[in-house]
Structure 1
């Protein structure tokens, strides 16, 4: 029996074996991408190593700077703790001098003592003012503030319930921070 004849495409028969359509064909180098010889690779490696060394140096410098900033901040905090009261202490020195001078004087009248105490109180008030220290002195009838007042007891009074009935001791603020709350009696209302 004769073998069946295959239909041959004239174009397919004319195509050479090593054409671009063939899957086995080796790729030809492109004219746009030059081949890099071994010397270029060594230059690229040296350049990359130089950049790594530069980045490592920058990292070490940044780390050293962070450590310096941290150390300076710790020193500043330590100095603030140690010398934070310096301004207030400087304000109190004249007060002490006045008290010592008053005690050193003999044969003073009651009027002299009173004038000396008033003068010393003015010096203390000035020291408080310079160092942002203020009084907390709630008046009867004023609303009770648990952040600034400390209640000792509830007492019947003519003031509304929950307000200050009587102040027993002044409190003090430094800037906006409570140093000592005012001691108060709180109104329980009228009985």
Structure 2
């Protein structure tokens, strides 16, 4: 076939009668228009449902990943709370010893052992993200401190002047609030 034959056939295909006949053949009737519109609506609704389902699946996956991460990070929370009383009692035992008792050769090995145990316990706390809450001299923070009483003081009212029990955090969560006494106004 030559170029002139191709041009002639293309011209024949583009006659107004051929174009109108093709348009009539591809143009749906009114009944078909309604059906096409309904199908288009159904397709749009199904696409929207698919998007919502994908988003919900992604949210569930993210929530699950966060819960697993939190479970790993805070699995020992109950145990850590229980062991805090051991740390408190060990600290009280060491604080109760007088200088004469510490110097006594008969008790000295016991004191050395208690001090080593306390250091090891604090080291374990540090390795597991358990930190002591600062209190003395700071303003009362109800998220970390529990005010037990007010004491007349020359400090600014609301400032912590005494710590009765140490508070601890595990990473960014409160294990136990510090029990404190705050300065009283006037």
Q: Normalising by structure 1, what TM-score?
A: 0.48
Of structures 1 and 2, the larger Rg is shown by 1
Which of the two has greater helix per residue? 2
Q: Normalising by structure 2, what TM-score?
A: 0.49
